[in-house]
A and B are shown apart, each in its own frame.
Chain A
C-alpha cells in the first residue's frame, strides 16, 4: 500500500510541481478565475437592480452572491479534468504508449488530476473560502451560511469530486470512439456547466429541465454541496441528497470501469 502511494504519489507531486513552476502562469490563472467570478456577480447586481422584488426565486442579492461564491468554491474543490489529459494524450498519439500498462494508466490519470486538484485547492479554494468568510462577516449575513453543516459540506464536496472525476472520465472515452478531441472537451464543459448549477441555480430551471438535471449526475458535483452550505438542504432532505451522491459515485465508478475496459479492447483491435 505504501509503495502504491509512493509510486502514484509521485504523479500527484509531479503535476503539482509543474503547476507551481511558472509564477506568471499561476498569477494569471488565479486572477482570470476570480475575474470571471467578478463578472457573474456584477451581472447579478445589475439584474437585482432591475428587479421589482428583493427576492428572485428565493434568493436575495446577497444570497445569490453567496451562491456564486460557493459554486466557485465547489468548482475548485471538485476540479478534476481527466478529459483534457486523455484528449491531449490521444491527439499526441501518446495513448498507445501509456496503454502498455492500462490499469496503471487509469490510476496515473487519477493521481495526475489529483495533483492538479490540490494545486487548485491551494490557490483558488482557500482564497475563495476566505472571501466567503470575509463577505459574510462584513455584511453581517452569517446566518445565510450554515457553518455548522460545514463538515457535511466537505464530505458532500468530496463525493462531488469523485462524481466529477468518474463522469468526466467516462465522457473522455468518447474521444476514442469519435476521434474528436477539443470538441469533446468543449461539449462536456458546456453540459457540466449547465447541469451542475454553475450557470444558474437549478431551481431557476423550468420543470422539464429540472427533471432532466435530476437524471444527470452533475447536480451532485456542485449544486448539492452548495445548497448544503447555504443551509437550504437540511434534515431528511440532507440525508437523501447525500444518498443520491453516494449512489452516483458507486454507479459511475462501476460504469467507468466497464467503459474503460471496453475502450481498451476496442483499441487493441483498432490500433492506438
Chain B
C-alpha cells in the first residue's frame, strides 16, 4: 500500500548570527547550511496496518508525512501510495487520503459544521446515499448532532477534533494520516477518538499512520511502530517486540494498609543490585517499584514486599513505552 524507498529530503537554510550586530551583518551576506531532514529511509506499510510514527521534535516526522501526502517533493528516493506517486499526482492521491493536523483544523472556520461536510461531499464527489450513510455513522460514534449546526470557530477543542476526524474519514480514504490527534483532549475525548479510529480501521481496513507524542495512543492503536531520529529510521517493528527486547523493567504497584514512613527500604542491598537500577516511589498508601526483570523476578520482589508490609492490592505492569522510547532516543539506535 505504502512504499517508501531511499527517501531523502534536504533543506537549505541561511544562518545568521545572533544579536543586533549579527542581524545587520546578515543583511549583507548570510551563510548557507544544508540540513538533511529525512535521510535515506525505507519502509513498507500494508493495507489495514495501524502504524505509529514517533520521534523527537525535529527528527523528521512531519517532513516524512508531508512527502507522503504530497505537500513536499523529496530530494531523492521514491514514494508510492497505492501505486500513485503523491507529489507527481497530487489530486489522485488526495482523493484517497484523509488528514488530521491536530493543532490546525481542516474545516472552515466561519461556516456551520454541517456546511463544511456538504462542501467535502462535493469535493470528494460522494454519491448522496454514501454520504448519508457516512454521516449517520459518524453522528452515531462521535455524537456530532450535538453541535453540527454551530460554526466551527465556536466549537470546543474536543468537539472540533471529533469533527476533524469525521471530516478526514468522510470519504472513506484508503490512508488516514493523523498528526497529534489527541493533543489537548481530556481522557474521555481521547478514548472516543481512539475508538472512532479503531472502528474505521476494522470496518473499512483503513491504513492509519499516527504521529504523536502521546504513547498511550500508540499503545492502544498501533501494532507497529517506526521510530525516527535525526532523519533516520532507527526502529521498525512491532510494539510487542520492542517491549520484549527493550522492556527490561517491570513495575509493581503495591497498595499497603499502613501509612508508609520514610524509612529506607534498602531493597538494593537485599537484591544485590545497584540503587540506580531501582526506582521507588511512595505516595500515601501506594508503593511503586520499577526494577530490572532480568535480575529480580516478579515473584522475588512481590515476596519481599509482602513480607515487610500488609499488602492490600498488587498491580503488575510491563515497562512503560515512554521509558523504552526515552532509552532508544538516548542510545540513538536500536539493537535487537
Contact = CB atoms under 8 A, between A and B. Distances in A.
A and B touch in the complex (CB under 8 A): yes
Interface string B8-30: 00000000000010011011000
Contacts of B24: 20
B27 A23 contact: yes
A17 B20 contact: yes
Interface in A1-54: 13, 17, 20-21, 23
A21 B25 CA distance: 10
Contacts of A13: 20
A67 to B, nearest CB: 34
10 contacts: A13-B20, A17-B20, A17-B23, A20-B20, A20-B23, A20-B24, A20-B27, A21-B23, A21-B26, A23-B27
A17 B24 CA distance: 10
Nearest to A26: B27
A21 B16 CA distance: 10
Contacts of A21: 23, 26
A17 B16 CA distance: 13
B52 to A, nearest CB: 31
List of 7 A-B pairs having minimum Cβ-Cβ separation, nearest first:
A23-B27, A20-B23, A21-B23, A17-B23, A17-B20, A20-B24, A20-B27
A159 B309 CA distance: 78
A154 to B, nearest CB: 26
A66 to B, nearest CB: 32
Interface in B68-103: none
B26 to A, nearest CB: 8
Nearest to A16: B20
Contacts of B26: 21
Interface of B: 20, 23-24, 26-27
Nearest to B30: A23
A18 to B, nearest CB: 10
Nearest to B19: A17
A270 to B, nearest CB: 14
A23 B28 CA distance: 9
Contacts of B27: 20, 23
A21 B19 CA distance: 11
Given A17-B23, A20-B20, A20-B27, 7 more contacts: A13-B20, A17-B20, A20-B23, A20-B24, A21-B23, A21-B26, A23-B27
A21 B24 CA distance: 8
A23 B23 CA distance: 10
Nearest to B23: A20
A21 B63 CA distance: 26
A23 B20 CA distance: 14
A8 B141 CA distance: 51
A13 B21 CA distance: 13
Contacts of A17: 20, 23
A206 B24 CA distance: 49
A171 to B, nearest CB: 25
A191 B301 CA distance: 79
Interface in A64-119: none
A28 to B, nearest CB: 14
A20 B20 CA distance: 9
Contacts of B23: 17, 20-21
B156 to A, nearest CB: 13
Nearest to B27: A23
Nearest to A21: B23
B151 to A, nearest CB: 13
A244 B79 CA distance: 71
Contacts of A23: 27
Nearest to B24: A20
Nearest to A20: B23
Interface in A197-244: none
A20 B25 CA distance: 11
A17 B17 CA distance: 13
A23 B30 CA distance: 11
Nearest to A13: B20
Contacts of B20: 13, 17, 20
A46 to B, nearest CB: 38
